[in-house]
Structure 1
Amino acid sequence: MTQLTRLTQLTRMARPAVGEREPAPTGERRLRMSYEQFLEWSDEDTHAEWVNGEVIVFMTPVIRHQRINGFLYSLISRFADLFNLGEVVFAPFEMRHLPGYASREPDLLFVARENLHRLTRERLEGPADLVIEIVSPSSAKRDYQEKLAEYEQSGVGEYWVIDPRPEWEQVRVYQRTMEMEGCYQAVLPDPSGRYHSAALPGLWLRPEWLWREPLPAADEAMLEVCGEAYIRHLAERMRRERLSDQ
């Protein structure tokens, strides 16, 4: 079975007539078009993905989704900045990871410093080093199954699935390993319940942070992850700001 056949089977779904928009039961809209048409049709404010000749236009996320996304962006971007590891980008921003088959807009993606040359003004050409998707009622199958297969095939190094639905509240982490010949392996938490990132060495996530109301401040989480290193970083930043104000 070819990679394209496998992905096509995973993403098979009923399709409207060519050019016809059709509301899906989940509130999504779907539209048949080529990738070139998709590039002309979409703009920077549109959150949509192109998969195998079909565009999926997403509903506006709920506030909990947005808060978790904001917390993760703040935490990971602070960590990446502290250790000069790369850049974090949030949706809507295109990741063209499977040219000719799929182009996604992950909730968050991280590009390591050595791969920043693939990050253009319009999109990321190729797979990210880390992708994070936050599950909504309409996206569970897509996030847990379809994107898992796509990201594994395309070479995304690490994939986090964050599921904040009240009946689930779980995190799943997948990492590519040489032992598995580049295939994903599910990562288990450490004895303290923390998930450790391979894409950003030294970064870990405590899932219970995500279920708190309100969410913890990103600086609070960074202090827990990095300790004295982050304190020194903040002190140096404050010193530079004072000097620039003089």
Structure 2
Amino acid sequence: MVQTVPQLMTLDEFLDWYPDGYGRYELWNGVVIEMQPTGTHEQVGGLLGVKLGVEIDRLSLPYIIPRQAIVKPIDTDKSGYSPDVIVLDQFSLNEEPLWKKHSTITQGKSIRVVIEVVSSNWRDDYGHKFIDYEELGIPEYWIVDYLGLGGRRYIGSPKTPTFSVYQLVDGEYQMQQFRGSDRIISLAFPELNLKAEQVFAVGV
């Protein structure tokens, strides 16, 4: 669920305003949106964060998973997204001008994987964010549609829970989809041992 805050802002104003530790917000074309995810939505995101965190630790990868971060789309000062899970390249953060003060990412190369867990506003994940993440050059984007809410043009018919992994190839996302006992295939985490059904099960 989302709730709007009735005040138009630029991204700089939004970042200065952001009440750290008191909720989760995004900025869409100057409009502040308060995100209110369900418990099952948080369970799915939490599981993915744990699984990737274990891989990062096991392989001693130079990645971090922040509790919260804002991703700034290209060519706008009026939007900023707060992904459900984001994996960052620790070494690239030194080149991020807004990271230390506002935990904000402006360059796709700083991100290894960005994950959105689908809820009632599924059009944002498959539409606006897909376009902006691709344009930013984020190498891997996961859309976790654990309830099968997305449009049929995205997940097929009949609609079923679908785990979509988009990988950037020559500047465009190429998609692989996983269901049931399919093992999730990720270039960022090639040894990840996780099946789609394991993720969907925690959202039931």
* Band of TM-score, shorter chain: 0.7 to 0.9
Return the offset for 1:153. 0.4
- Taking structure 1 as the reference length, the TM-score comes to 0.66
Structure 2 match to 1:173: 165
| 1:120 is aligned to 2:100 | yes
Return the offset for 1:163. 1.3
Report the count of equivalent residues: 184
CA distance in 1, matches of 2:32, 2:112: 24
Distance of aligned partners of 1:52 and 1:74 in 2 relative to their CA distance in 1, 3 Å threshold: same
CA contact (8 A) 1:73 1:90 kept: no
Return the offset for 1:114. 3.8
Which of 96, 113, 137 pairs up with 1:130?
113
CA distance in 2, matches of 1:162, 1:188: 10
Which of 84, 98, 103 pairs up with 2:80?
103
Structure 1: gaps of 5 or more residues: 1-25, 216-246
Larger radius of gyration: 1
Distance of aligned partners of 1:196 and 1:96 in 2 relative to their CA distance in 1, 3 Å threshold: same
- Taking structure 2 as the reference length, the TM-score comes to 0.78
Q: Which amino acid aligns with 1:98?
A: I
CA distance in 2, matches of 1:55, 1:214: 27
Deviations 1:65-114 (A, max 9, x none): 111111111110110111122111244x2123436343211000001344
CA distance in 1, matches of 2:189, 2:117: 19
CA contact (8 A) 1:197 1:204 kept: no
Which of 52, 55, 59 pairs up with 1:79?
55
Structure 2 match to 1:37: 13
CA contact (8 A) 2:162 2:177 kept: no
SS at match of 2:86: strand
| 1:156 is aligned to 2:138 | yes
Identity of aligned residues (%): 26
Please tell me the root mean square deviation across aligned C-alpha atoms, in Å. Answer: 2.6
Return the offset for 1:201. 3.1
Return the offset for 1:36. 2.4
